[in-house]
Amino acid sequence: MTTDQQPRVQWLGRWGFVLAATGSAVGLGNIWKFPYITGEHGGGAFVLVYLACILAVGVPVMMTEIALGRRGRGSPVDAVRRVVMESGRSSAWSLLGWMAMLCGFMILSFYVVVAGWSVSYLWKLLTGSLAGSGVDDMVAIFVANNENPLNLGFWSTLVTLATMLIVGKGVQAGIERSVSWMMPGMVLMLLMLIGYGVFSGGFGEAWHFLFSFNAGSLSSDGMLVALGHAFFTLSLASGAILTYGSYLPARTSIARTTFSVAIADTLVALMAGLAIFPIIFANGMDPGEGPGLIFMSLPLAFQAMPMGTLFGILFFVMLSMAALTSSISMVEATVSWLCDNKGLSRRAAAWGTGIVLWSISTLAMLSFNLGADWTLAGRHVFDWLDYLTSRWMMPLGGLGMVLLAGFVLKSETFRSELGLAPRWHALWLFMVRYVSPLGILVIFVDALGIAHV
């Protein structure tokens, strides 16, 4: 590390980083995206590949990113540049940092639209406008909610504003504290929904759907979606975890932290699946319904259970909060880059970023109404943002990251940052050198149809 640097702010408290990283990881990816892509790709086999990707790719990449962030003490671009220069390698590797920053930004542009759905459903429950709706009504309500650009734009703008307000205030304030009560709250709500599914039917079918790993029913595209989701759900290759790692105190164990975050994230996703699919099956809905899946199904359960409106309100409050703790992590990379390199204050950096973000997210939002026909190769803006980030940028960024760690940087860098016992270090090195890159390459090449394995 260079000596002319200001000491960088660090997380408050012993649990600061774990809370913030868990807050970043657990979000709409777990509760909105995981169930619907699992439904679209047929269940069990998809879940199995996803779990394998978390373990074989996600965990090693997360350790690598946290270590890079802490070693380089900066935004992804600066941290990677510093670390490669320290090893006497080409600063062209900082392109990885640029791609990660862009990726986080692109994800946020559609993420705020989904978070907007969540807040708008909170509003619907508060105003009682969902009362008495059946399965078909729920589908119609979701569609109607999207049809008016002013309505949808209002909610996504609200989320964008909230995100920028929090980010502008700085890394420590509020983030860590809110996560510490929200996570247990979310788990409780999911347990309650699972309990509801056990009593009202559909649970057995849901369990079977998620965990009967009958391989063979998964397309190679489905494998790539599973891989991309492993990155997405752990907030990898998008600047978030790397930048949060740059605030990590020197003594914290990276391996232990990574495992806590990965386990918490995986449990929440699986619980979300177990909460949602019983409702789908009990009501004869289609698991492959798409992005609206949870918004069409969950309110049905909240209507049928005792005190359901109250629970529904609590659920959507927590989902919106979970979305916020993720969305703030997506801009942190860009904001910290602007602060460090352009001399902007946090506040100015946050609002500047917010304006650009708002423009792109508006295009994503319009995909559901006015811009439904603005498609290219069959995808509208919202789809393109998701497609480019999950299927291309994150797997390729992750690949670059493990190759950098495994073959390019001096081994001393990771030996001291990770601080693992020799045996565990060897395992990590084996993962980042061979298992993760080959896993990514095989799935990628297979899905592109270049060669089939």
Binding test (CB under 6 A) with ligand PHE, winner from 47, 56, 102, 107:
107
Q: How far apart are CA 32 and CA 272, in angstroms?
A: 8
Find the shortest distance in angstroms from Cβ 191 to Na ion.
18
CA-based R_g, the chain, Å: 21
Query: Contact region for ligand PHE (CB under 6 A) — 12-20, 91-99, 155-163, 229-237?
Result: 229-237
| Nearer CB in complex with Na ion: 52/161 | 52
Find the shortest distance in angstroms from Cβ 47 to Na ion.
15
Q: Which of residues 326-365 bind ligand PHE (CB under 6 A)?
A: 326, 329-330
Q: Which of residues 195-254 bind Na ion (CB under 5 A)?
A: 233
Binding to Na ion by residue 60, rule CB under 5 A? no
Contact 180, 19 (CB under 8 A): yes
| Nearer CB in complex with Na ion: 230/305 | 230
Find the shortest distance in angstroms from Cβ 321 to ligand PHE.
12
User: Of these partners, Na ion, ligand PHE, none, which one is at the site of residue 240 (CB under 5 to 8 Å by kind)?
Assistant: ligand PHE
3-class SS letters over the chain: CCCCCCCCCCCCCCCHHHHHHHHHHCCHHHHHHHHHHHHHCCCHHHHHHHHHHHHHHHHHHHHHHHHHHHHHCCCHHHHHHHHHHHCCCCHHHHHHHHHHHHHHHHHHHHHHHHHHHHHHHHHHHHCCCCCCCCHHHHHHHHHHHHHCHHHHHHHHHHHHHHHHHHHHHCCCCCHHHHHHHHHHHHHHHHHHHHHHHHHHCCHHHHHHHHHCCCCCCCCHHHHHHHHHHHHHHCCCCCCHHHHHHCCCCCCCCHHHHHHHHHHHHHHHHHHHHHHHHHHHHHCCCCCCCCCCHHHHHHHHHHHHCCCHHHHHHHHHHHHHHHHHHHHHHHHHHHHHHHHHHHCCCHHHHHHHHHHHHHHHHHHHHHCCCHHHHCCECCECHHHHHHHHHHHHHHHHHHHHHHHHHHHHCCHHHHHHHHCCCHHHHHHHHHHHHHHHHHHHHHHHHHHHCCCCC
Interface size with ligand PHE, residues (CB under 6 A): 16
Query: Contact region for ligand PHE (CB under 6 A) — 44-52, 232-240, 297-305, 338-346?
Result: 232-240
User: Of these partners, Na ion, ligand PHE, none, which one is at the site of residue 116 (CB under 5 to 8 Å by kind)?
Assistant: none
Binding test (CB under 6 A) with ligand PHE, winner from 11, 196, 209, 232:
232
User: Of these partners, Na ion, ligand PHE, none, which one is at the site of residue 107 (CB under 5 to 8 Å by kind)?
Assistant: ligand PHE
Contact 270, 190 (CB under 8 A): no
Query: Contact region for ligand PHE (CB under 6 A) — 93-101, 190-198, 231-239, 313-321?
Result: 231-239
Binding test (CB under 6 A) with ligand PHE, winner from 10, 118, 233, 353:
233
Binding to ligand PHE by residue 228, rule CB under 6 A? no
Find the shortest distance in angstroms from Cβ 340 to ligand PHE.
20
Binding to ligand PHE by residue 240, rule CB under 6 A? yes
User: Of these partners, Na ion, ligand PHE, none, which one is at the site of residue 329 (CB under 5 to 8 Å by kind)?
Assistant: ligand PHE
Q: How many CB atoms lie within 10 A of CB 93?
A: 20
Find the shortest distance in angstroms from Cβ 329 to ligand PHE.
5
Q: Which of residues 11-70 bind ligand PHE (CB under 6 A)?
A: 24-25, 27-30
Find the shortest distance in angstroms from Cβ 179 to ligand PHE.
13
Computed from CA positions of residues 336, 342, 346, 351, in that sequence, does the dihedral angle turn out positive or negative?
negative
Cβ-proximal residues to 97 (8 Å cutoff; 6+ apart), any chain: 75, 76, 77, 78, 79, 80, 81, 239, 242
Q: Which of residues 254-293 bind Na ion (CB under 5 A)?
A: 265
Residues, the chain, total?
Answer: 453
Residue whose C-beta lies closest to ligand PHE: 29
Query: Contact region for ligand PHE (CB under 6 A) — 149-157, 233-241, 345-353, 433-441?
Result: 233-241
Contact string 3-42 vs Na ion (x = CB under 5 A): ----------------------x---xx------------
Burial of 427 (0-12, 13-18, 19+ CB in 10 A): middle
Query: Contact region for ligand PHE (CB under 6 A) — 35-43, 183-191, 303-311, 325-333?
Result: 325-333
Binding to Na ion by residue 390, rule CB under 5 A? no
Binding to ligand PHE by residue 238, rule CB under 6 A? yes
| Nearer CB in complex with ligand PHE: 39/202 | 39
Find the shortest distance in angstroms from Cβ 266 to Na ion.
9
Interacting residues with ligand PHE (CB under 6 A): 24-25, 27-30, 104, 107, 232-233, 235, 238, 240, 326, 329-330
Residues that bind Na ion (CB under 5 A): 25, 29-30, 233, 265
